[in-house]
């Protein structure tokens, strides 16, 4: 096995807090399938037979239940629970070190994409990379749409990625939030890569291919807690670090001050001897313009695969979650899932219309003269007469009484919307009761509402 897939499904989903208070993030339904099913599906299609899935102690049962309930999973999943919920993603890797035998493929549970993993793997293999990551240019609707329950959209924080001339190797990363006026880049990097492309519209999909030594290094270097925010920038920076003086001059080892934490990353980044020899002997070079060795002798190399076109989104915020549900049919076609948009068990009364871009799950009853467009309706919902649902997501067991008008909202499980409510752009938490004739706009209805 070349890569060992690890699905990170223990995240608390802090940006989806209103939805995840009673349900682990990975088990949230998108198009009536749990979020984590999408990466599992991708792995299955790429031919993987087993995977490690990192889950929260509390969430494991729920995730397992939802997975078996809503879809069949052929992949053999090994559930690993994290002991400490505050652990970062890199901490998790450190914890499961004993299970890691080969290079890693790390996938977040909230990634929905139709990209073929082979493309990323090929880039990783070509350059014998230390780290390869998937970057995607966000479709504009994902950051332009207003999240249900929020009055204004949040400004999007941009990440800058500096690439080499071929737009493959990552030379620097920097988040817009971390810099004031100027970004400074060492001139020595420009000497090696005088042509650099900086892209600002890319999102890190949190999908990484990683050498096994990186985990060994993590075990030594305990200060790195998160993959995205700490480990990746660290590795990208270390690409251009040089072998220390002490390796060249034996005897005079030890650097100053950091005597407690000294560990040279270059000691870990061992390359396959034969691969290095082959590269030395071959006439192939990754750059031109100077006479330097391939990769300028850099042992650590980080690459980024930029996905152009296709489908790639992360459902880690309320707005992207609701947008994913709105575009569910597109997602289904891209990922090759065949689901009828109306489950055979759905009871549909006369004169009701359900758009072809909707998904309605089993056991749901829909009353007369109902119109549903661009929406997802969960299991065992009851929708009364004369209801209009547009651009919305209804999770399982929601009851919508007659004459309601729901636009651009998310209604969580077991909520009851009483008659003639008008809900626009709201987020309704689980188990809420909304008053008859109530009018709600841009609201976050999460805690108990007085009736």
Partner 1 sequence: MASKSRGKQRGEDIQQEDVFQAVVIADSFNVRFAPITNEKPKSLLPLANIPILDYTLEFLVTAGVQEIFVFCCHLADQIRTHIRQSKWSECSSCTITPVLSESCMSMGDALREIHDKSVIRSDFVLVFGDTVANLRLQDVLQEHKKRLQDKTNPQNKNSVMTMIFQKVPPGHRSRNKEDDIFLAVDQTSNRVLHYQRVREQSKLQIPVDVLADNLDVQLRYDLLDSQISVCSPEVLALFKDNFDYLNRDHFVKGLLDNEDIMEKTIHMCVLNDGYTGRVSNLQMYDTVSRDVICRWSYPLVPDTQTDNQGQIISHNRHNIYTSKDVMLAKGCVLEQNVLVGRGTRIGSNTRITDSVIGKDCKIGSDVVIENAYIWDGVTIEDQCCVDTAVICDNVVVYACTSVGPGCVLSYNVKVGPSVKIEARSRLQAAKDMDDDFGDELTEADQDAVSMINYGSKSQAFLHQPPEDSDDEDNDLVQDMFGLGIQSESSTEASSLSERSSDDEAMLDDEELFYSELLDTFVKAKEDNYNTENLILEINSLKHTYNIAIRDLYGMVMKGLIEIPLRDSQDLEPGAQLANVKKNFVRYKPLILNYIKSEESQLDCLHALEDFALSNKTVSTLLVKLLHILYDADILSEVVLIKWHNMEKEEEYKAIAKQVAPLIKWLEEAEEETSDEELGSD
Cα gap 446→90, rounded to integer Å = 32
Is residue 437 a contact partner of residue 421, using CB atoms and an 8 Å limit? Answer: yes
Closer to partner 1 by CB, 245 or 275: give it: 245
Q: Does 242 bind partner 1 (CB under 8 A)?
A: yes
Q: Which of 98, 152, 184, 282 binds partner 1 (CB under 8 A)?
A: 184
CB of 139 to partner 1, least distance (A): 13
CB of 238 to partner 1, least distance (A): 8
CB of 386 to partner 1, least distance (A): 46
From residue 17, give the alpha-carbon distance in Å to each of 21, 23, 428, 434, 444.
6, 10, 12, 20, 11
Closer to partner 1 by CB, 1 or 263: give it: 263
Q: Does 283 bind partner 1 (CB under 8 A)?
A: no
End-to-end Cα, the chain, rounded Å:
58
Q: Which of 73, 75, 226, 246 binds partner 1 (CB under 8 A)?
A: 246
From residue 216, give the alpha-carbon distance in Å to each of 2, 103, 211, 345.
17, 11, 10, 52
CB of 160 to partner 1, least distance (A): 5
CB of 151 to partner 1, least distance (A): 25
Task: Answer positive or negative: Cα dihedral of 322, 323, 324, 325.
Answer: positive
Residue 282: count of CB within 10 angstroms of its CB: 9
Q: Does 140 bind partner 1 (CB under 8 A)?
A: no
Q: Which of 1, 57, 61, 197 binds partner 1 (CB under 8 A)?
A: 197
Closer to partner 1 by CB, 122 or 241: give it: 241
Name residues contacting partner 1, limited to 284-303 (CB under 8 A). 289-290
- Cross-strand bridge partners of residue 303: 132, 169
Name residues contacting partner 1, limited to 387-426 (CB under 8 A). none
Q: Choose the stretch contacting partner 1; rule: CB under 8 A; options: 189-197, 318-326, 339-347, 385-393.
A: 189-197
Residue 451: count of CB within 10 angstroms of its CB: 8
* Total of chain residues touching partner 1, rule CB under 8 A: 51
Cα gap 35→29, rounded to integer Å = 6
Cα gap 334→112, rounded to integer Å = 10
Q: Choose the stretch contacting partner 1; rule: CB under 8 A; options: 85-93, 254-262, 358-366, 406-414.
A: 254-262
User: Pairing state of beta strands 439-441 and 353-354?
Assistant: unpaired
From residue 257, give the alpha-carbon distance in Å to each of 42, 127, 249, 261, 262.
47, 35, 19, 9, 9
Q: Does 183 bind partner 1 (CB under 8 A)?
A: yes
Closer to partner 1 by CB, 98 or 260: give it: 260
**Binding stretches for partner 1 (CB under 8 A):** 158, 160, 162, 176, 179-188, 190-191, 194-201, 223, 234, 237-238, 240-242, 244-246, 249, 252-259, 261-266, 289-290
């Amino acid at each position: 096995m070349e890569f060992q897939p690890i699905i990170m499904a223990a995240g608390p989903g802090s940006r989806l807090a209103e939805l995840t208070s009673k349900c682990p993030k990975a088990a949230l339904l998108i198009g009536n399938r749990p979020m984590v099913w999408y990466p599992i599906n991708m792995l299955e299609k790429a031919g993987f037979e087993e995977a490690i899935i990192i889950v929260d102690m509390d969430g494991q049962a729920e995730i397992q239940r939802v997975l078996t309930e809503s879809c069949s999973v052929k992949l053999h999943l090994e559930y690993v629970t994290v002991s400490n919920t505050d652990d970062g993603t890199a901490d998790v890797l450190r914890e499961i070190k004993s299970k890691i035998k080969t290079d890693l493929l790390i996938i977040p549970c909230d990634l929905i994409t139709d990209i073929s993993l082979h493309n990323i793997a090929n880039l990783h293999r070509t350059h014998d990379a230390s780290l390869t990551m998937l970057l995607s240019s966000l479709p504009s609707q994902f950051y332009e749409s207003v999240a249900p329950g929020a009055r204004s959209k949040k400004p999007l924080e941009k990440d800058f990625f500096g690439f080499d001339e071929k737009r493959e190797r990552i030379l620097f990363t920097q988040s817009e939030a971390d810099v004031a006026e100027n970004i400074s880049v060492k001139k020595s990097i420009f000497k090696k890569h005088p042509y650099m492309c900086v892209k600002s519209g890319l999102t890190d999909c949190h999908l990484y291919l990683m050498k096994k030594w990186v985990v060994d290094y993590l075990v030594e270097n305990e200060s790195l807690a998160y993959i995205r925010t700490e480990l990746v920038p660290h590795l990208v920076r270390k690409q251009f670090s040089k072998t220390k003086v002490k390796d060249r001059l034996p005897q005079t080892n030890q650097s100053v001050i950091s005597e407690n934490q000294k560990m040279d990353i270059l000691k870990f980044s061992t390359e396959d001897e034969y691969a290095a020899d082959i590269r030395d002997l071959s006439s192939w070079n990754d750059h031109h313009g100077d006479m330097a060795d391939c990769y300028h002798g850099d042992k650590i190399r980080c690459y980024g695969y930029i996905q152009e076109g296709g489908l790639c989104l992360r459902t880690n915020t309320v707005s992207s979650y609701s947008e994913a549900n709105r575009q569910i049919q597109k997602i289904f076609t891209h990922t090759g899932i065949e689901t009828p948009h109306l489950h055979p068990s759905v009871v549909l009364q006369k004169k009701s219309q359900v758009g072809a871009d909707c998904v309605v799950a089993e056991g749901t009853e829909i009353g007369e003269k109902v119109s549903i467009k661009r929406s997802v309706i969960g299991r065992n919902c009851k929708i009364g007469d004369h209801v209009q649902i547009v651009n919305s997501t209804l999770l399982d067991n929601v009851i919508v009484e007659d004459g309601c008008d729901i636009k651009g909202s998310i209604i969580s499980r077991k909520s009851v919307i009483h008659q003639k409510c008008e809900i626009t752009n709201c987020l309704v938490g689980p188990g809420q009761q909304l008053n008859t004739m109530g009018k709600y706009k841009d609201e976050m209805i999460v805690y108990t509402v007085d009736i």
